[in-house]
């Protein structure tokens, strides 16, 4: 995170929320994938952006802003129905709550219709995760250090907060004066919520009752990370055994063994992902086959590809490639696995990198679109 995360005085409030339909769209173009982009937009006319991605060509065709929301920095689509969920990352001062929005997507046009908006359960909501059955949302709050559980309604809307837990701790960096819950992930069993906390150098492990949407206090099995590294996001390997953590303040990736019976992380190895601070780590993702891990490194403006040792979870760097813009805040790999889309917050662009599924390597394309302050990518 950087100082640009603070809300501006002209931020659009939830009460002033406006929704925009896709302009004159008639039907989904053949062979096209619908892509949504979360942004730091806080001005009128900004919010969630939509585009078409050619599945075979990698061509990006912009649709435009389809939901006018205040700072929808993190967005997430439901795997089984045409719903999109977005935070409004407001209240980073710790005094007010942010929001979570549920929207319904029109797969033919990209248009979004608001279903419901609720308080997020803390200030500065920065990350979302769906539970294992797609019936609840978990929200990590950078501003206040809370993690919250919110049920989903039958119509896809989000209901008020059912459970909240407050993380605790601090670290040696000036940015670690208190807890900053930056990322949340459900383990493959669906019984534990893991929270990467930048402020306390910990990954908190919370037992989670998905039927009641209840989070228990952090377990004694929560993992303590090296001081001052600033944990950011966490991703599980498809085998459910390994978990990968990217840190922000010191850009590194750690591999953990995950014991689902005990709810325990055990660090196995670590690899430096970037240069010295202020270079910082941002996003991490695992390929669907579990053979490769990808990470974005801000300031260096690169995406790094790693091969995964299937026995030990250790990472070996394959190569690093320019993201095609400045400050790759996040990225997403499309459902075909052929394209990686980078959200370059600093340059205001979303760029397409081609991905070789056999080797894991990335290569540049000439495809890019202009999006104001893009920060996350989601595919319908």
Which residues make Cβ contacts (< 8 Å) with residue 35, sequence separation at least 6? 50, 51, 52, 53, 60, 332, 334, 341, 377, 378, 379, 380
List, for residues 161-214, the tens digit of each pLDDT value. Answer: 999 999 999 999 999 999 999 999 999 999 999 999 999 999 999 999 999 999
pLDDT tens-digit series, residues 327-355: 999 999 999 999 999 999 999 999 999 99
pLDDT over 50 at 357, yes or no = yes
Query: Within 13 A of 375's CA, how many CA atoms are on the CB side?
Result: 25
> Which phi and psi (to 5°) does residue 278 adopt?
-85, 10
The Cα-based distances of 275 to 241, 299, 327 in angstroms read 29, 10, 14
Looking at the chain, the whole-number percentage of residues with pLDDT higher than 90 is 86
CA dist list (Å): 80 to 77, 83, 143, 185, 380:
9, 8, 31, 18, 9
pLDDT at 27: 53
Residues 281-318: tens digit of each pLDDT = 999 999 999 999 999 999 999 999 999 999 999 999 99
For the chain, what's the residue count? 380
For 220-237, how does the pLDDT look when each residue is reduced to its tens digit (9 = 90+)?
999 999 999 999 999 999
Given a contact cutoff of 8 angstroms between Cβ atoms, the answer to whether 204 and 225 are in contact is no
Q: Is 26's pLDDT higher than 70? A: no
pLDDT-based confidence at 132, cuts 50/70/90?
A: confident
* Confidence bin at 49 (pLDDT 50/70/90): very high
Looking at the 3D structure of the chain, how many domains does it have?
Answer: 1
H or E segment at 17? none
Q: For residues 233 and 260, what is the distance between their CA atoms, to the nearest angstrom?
A: 19
Q: Which of 132, 118, 257 is nearest to 190 (CA)?
A: 132
Q: Is 370 exposed, middle or buried (0-12, 13-18, 19+ CB in 10 A)?
A: exposed
CATH of the domain at 155: 2.130.10.10
pTM of the model: 0.91
Widest distance between CA atoms in the chain: 55
Mean pLDDT, residues 72-98: 92
278 preceded by cis ω (within 30°)?
yes
> Exposed, middle or buried by CB within 10 Å (0-12, 13-18, 19+), for 123?
buried
Residue with tokens 């935070």: 87
Spell out the residues 6+ positions from residue 89 whose beta carbon is closer than 8 angstroms to its own.
Answer: 5, 7, 40, 71, 72, 73, 74, 98, 124, 125, 126, 142
Q: Which residue has the tokens 């908190």?
A: 204
CA-derived radius of gyration, the chain: 19
Structural domain of residue 369, as residue ranges? 3-379
Structure tokens at 358: 């056999």
What SS3 class is residue 187? coil
């Amino acid at each position: 995170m950087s100082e640009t995360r603070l809300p501006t005085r002209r931020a659009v409030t939830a009460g002033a929320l406006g929704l925009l339909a896709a302009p004159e769209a008639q039907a989904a173009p053949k062979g096209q994938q619908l892509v949504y982009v979360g942004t730091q937009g806080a001005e009128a006319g900004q919010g969630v952006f939509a585009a078409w991605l050619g599945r075979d060509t990698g061509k990006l065709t912009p649709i435009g802003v389809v939901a006018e929301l205040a700072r929808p920095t993190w967005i997430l689509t439901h795997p089984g129905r045409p719903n999109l969920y977005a935070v409004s990352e407001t209240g980073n001062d710790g005094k007010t709550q942010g929001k979570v929005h549920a929207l319904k997507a029109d797969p033919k046009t990209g248009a979004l219709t608001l279903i419901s908006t609720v308080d997020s359960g803390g200030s500065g909501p920065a990350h979302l995760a769906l539970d294992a059955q797609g019936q609840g949302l978990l929200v990590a709050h950078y501003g206040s250090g809370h993690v919250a559980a919110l049920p989903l309604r039958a119509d896809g809307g989000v209901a008020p907060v059912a459970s909240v837990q407050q993380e605790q701790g601090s670290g040696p960096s000036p940015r670690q004066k208190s807890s900053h819950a930056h990322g949340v992930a459900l383990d493959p069993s669906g019984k534990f919520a893991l929270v990467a906390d930048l402020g306390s150098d910990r990954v908190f492990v919370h037992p989670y009752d998905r039927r009641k949407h209840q989070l228990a206090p952090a377990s004694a099995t929560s993992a303590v990370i090296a001081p001052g590294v600033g944990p950011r996001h966490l991703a599980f390997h498809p085998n459910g055994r390994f978990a990968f953590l990217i840190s922000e303040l010191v850009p590194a990736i750690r591999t953990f063994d995950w014991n689902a019976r005990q709810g325990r992380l055990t660090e196995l190895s670590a690899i430096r992902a970037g240069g010295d601070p202020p270079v910082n780590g941002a996003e991490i993702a695992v390929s669907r086959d579990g053979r490769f891990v990808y990470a974005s490194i801000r300031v260096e403006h690169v995406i790094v590809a790693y091969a995964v040792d299937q026995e030990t979870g250790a990472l070996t760097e394959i190569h690093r490639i320019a993201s095609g813009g400045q400050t790759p805040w996040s990225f997403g790999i499309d459902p075909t696995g052929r394209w990686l889309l980078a959200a370059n917050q600093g340059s205001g662009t979303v760029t397409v990198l081609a991905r070789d599924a056999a080797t894991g390597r990335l290569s540049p394309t000439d495809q890019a679109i202009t999006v104001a302050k893009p920060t996350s990518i989601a595919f319908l």
